[in-house]
């Protein structure tokens, strides 16, 4: 998403951040397999570090995008009621892939990370289109 926002020259209007619902990988870089797959497509993930979602994020951001139902539910459990409508699944924005959630590649092989990238590229393009429509207003 960062790449698409930068390409669209919308970095001054769209803020992209990433956080996990758990505390397992705080301060750690992305999985090496994810970094390799992303690098093959021209994305550099090496500077990213894991952080856990914070209560302030619900007020700070207009959307909180979850990769799957478990993460959406975890967000819902800690989300203040006035911000509940901000939680969405990434794949809601996909245009070519009809999967409900992004697959979890963690326990599989390298091909799983390629599938995740396919899903994310599709859904992020749809998300950017939706955001652009809102920015025009």
Active site amino acids: 104
Closest CA to 116 of 54, 46, 67, 71: 67
Q: Report the alpha-carbon distance of residue 107 to residue 54 in Å, rounded.
A: 27
Other Cβ atoms closer than 10 A to 67 = 20
Q: Report the alpha-carbon distance of residue 70 to residue 18 in Å, rounded.
A: 16
Helix (H/G/I), strand (E/B), else coil: 32: helix
Q: Report the alpha-carbon distance of residue 123 to residue 101 in Å, rounded.
A: 10
Backbone angle region of 2, left / alpha / beta, with phi > 0 → left and psi within -120 to 50 → alpha: alpha
């Amino acid at each position: 998403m960062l790449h698409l926002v930068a390409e669209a020259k919308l970095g001054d209007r769209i803020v992209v951040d990433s956080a996990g619902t758990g505390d397992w990988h705080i301060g750690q870089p992305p999985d090496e397999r994810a970094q390799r797959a992303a690098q093959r497509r021209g994305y550099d993930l090496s500077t990213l570090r894991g952080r856990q979602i914070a209560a302030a994020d619900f007020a700070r951001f207009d959307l909180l995008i979850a990769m799957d139902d478990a993460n959406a539910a975890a967000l819902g459990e800690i989300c203040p009621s006035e911000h509940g409508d901000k939680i969405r699944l990434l794949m809601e924005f996909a245009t070519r892939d009809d999967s409900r959630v992004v697959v979890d590649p963690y326990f599989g092989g390298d091909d799983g990370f390629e599938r995740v990238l396919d899903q994310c590229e599709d859904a992020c393009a749809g998300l950017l289109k939706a955001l652009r429509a809102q920015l025009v207003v």
